[in-house]
Amino acid sequence: MGIKVKINASVIVPNYNNGRYLDAFIQSIVNSTVEPSEVIIVDDGSEDHSPEVLEKYKHYRFIKVIHFGENQGLTAALNAALELSTGQYVLRADPDDLLAPDRLEKQYNYMEQNPEVDILGCNVIYVDTETGKKINTSNFPLTHKSIVRAFRKGEHGIQHPTAFIKGHVYRKYRYQEVFPAEDYEIFSRMARDGYIFANIKSPLYYMRVHAGSATSNLKKKHIDDTFRFRDQIFGYRTTRTRKLIYYYHMFFYRKFQMSHSAAIKMLYLVLSCCFYPLKAIRRIF
């Protein structure tokens, strides 16, 4: 195999107790068609075998591991990695997921060819961790206007771990100590401040759906926090009814993703559609 092209991009990765997935995750970066200039993994006081797994990769010069002595939380780990990043571009990834081999190359080339774009995402394939089977593929909006419109509605315009951002833009911001609305909050501030968004239509990221993932642990407070940020950033006033409708739409959609029974999956999908028909249909089809 020839020497890979190295791109001027930092990958920032917060890890907490994802030892069972780390090997596959890191291998998905190592096996990428291009090599990032650095991968910064912040181990947030893991209590599993994550440190042992990370030790195996110390011979890769582009992989940098930071160990927190105790758990400080996702946003602290993200901010630490962001502050240490040096790349022209900074991109996100989560250690329980997988990168498609050409994700880095395609997003890098897109940004180089479209210099007006500041923040780039892509679609994802959701994968059942237990069975390894594809659940469904996301359908995020592609244009800047449609992405910003989603954020203004209190929805996600891009999938957080697919973000590929100009370094000088990303490093102007820091994550707030709220989980899991931290991604909505930081991207909404970027949208408010006039930075340009885009999504690549192709799915270039595999997101595991499992009991320990944020995808699977939606609470009403998470939706309340998201809409609180929406109102603060964009100057809206979201009604309690709107929050409840969106919560139940997302609640049943997550149940649809987690269920292994075809009949029950269909039931959850129908219930999700009842609360937000257009969005649910767009998500699936």
DSSP codes of every residue in the chain: -PPPPEEEEEEEEEESS-HHHHHHHHHHHHTSSSEEEEEEEEE-S--SSHHHHHHTTTT-TTEEEEE-SS---HHHHHHHHHHH---SEEEE--TTSEE-TTHHHHHHHHHHH-TT--EEEEEEEEEETTT--EEEE-----SHHHHHHHHHTTS-SS-GGG-EEEHHHHTT----S-SSSHHHHHHHHHHHTT--EEEEEEEEEEEEE-TTSGGG---HHHHHHHHHHHHHHH-----HHHHHHHHHHHHHHHHHHH---HHHHHHHHHHHHHHSHHHHHHHH-
> How many beta carbons lie within 10 A of that of residue 231, not counting itself?
13
pLDDT attached to residue 68: 96
Judge if the upstream peptide bond of residue 180 is cis by omega within 30 degrees of 0.
Answer: yes
Q: Which residue has the higher pLDDT, 167 or 211?
A: 167
Q: Which of 110, 222, 206, 96 is nearest to 166 (CA)?
A: 110
pLDDT attached to residue 230: 96
Q: Which of 87, 97, 210, 233 is nearest to 160 (CA)?
A: 97
pLDDT attached to residue 215: 55
pLDDT attached to residue 178: 82
- The mean per-residue pLDDT over the stretch 192-214 comes to 90
The answer to whether residue 258 scores a pLDDT higher than 70 is yes
- Whole-angstrom CA distances from 121 to 90, 104, 110, 199, 217 are 12, 11, 11, 4, 23
pLDDT attached to residue 216: 54
- The mean per-residue pLDDT over the stretch 172-195 comes to 94
Distance CA 258, CA 179 (A): 21
Q: What is the pLDDT of residues 62-118, one digit of tens each?
A: 999 999 999 999 999 999 999 999 999 999 999 999 999 999 999 999 999 999 999
pLDDT attached to residue 256: 87
Distance CA 115, CA 74 (A): 30
Distance CA 173, CA 179 (A): 16
pLDDT attached to residue 210: 74
Q: Which residue has the higher pLDDT, 131 or 117?
A: 117
Residues 6+ apart with CB under 8 A from 14: 42, 44, 74, 77, 78, 81, 94, 95
- The mean per-residue pLDDT over the stretch 202-218 comes to 79
What the chain holds in terms of domains, given with CATH numbers, is: 6-238 (3.90.550.10)
pLDDT attached to residue 147: 98
Name the packing angle between helices 182-192 and 220-234 (round to 10°). 10
Average pLDDT of the residues of the chain: 93
- The mean per-residue pLDDT over the stretch 239-268 comes to 90
How far does the chain reach from its first CA to its final CA, in angstroms?
39
The answer to whether residue 11 scores a pLDDT higher than 90 is yes
Which range (202-206, 235-239, 267-271) has the least confidence?
Answer: 267-271
pLDDT attached to residue 172: 97
Distance CA 241, CA 253 (A): 18
The answer to whether residue 1 scores a pLDDT higher than 60 is no
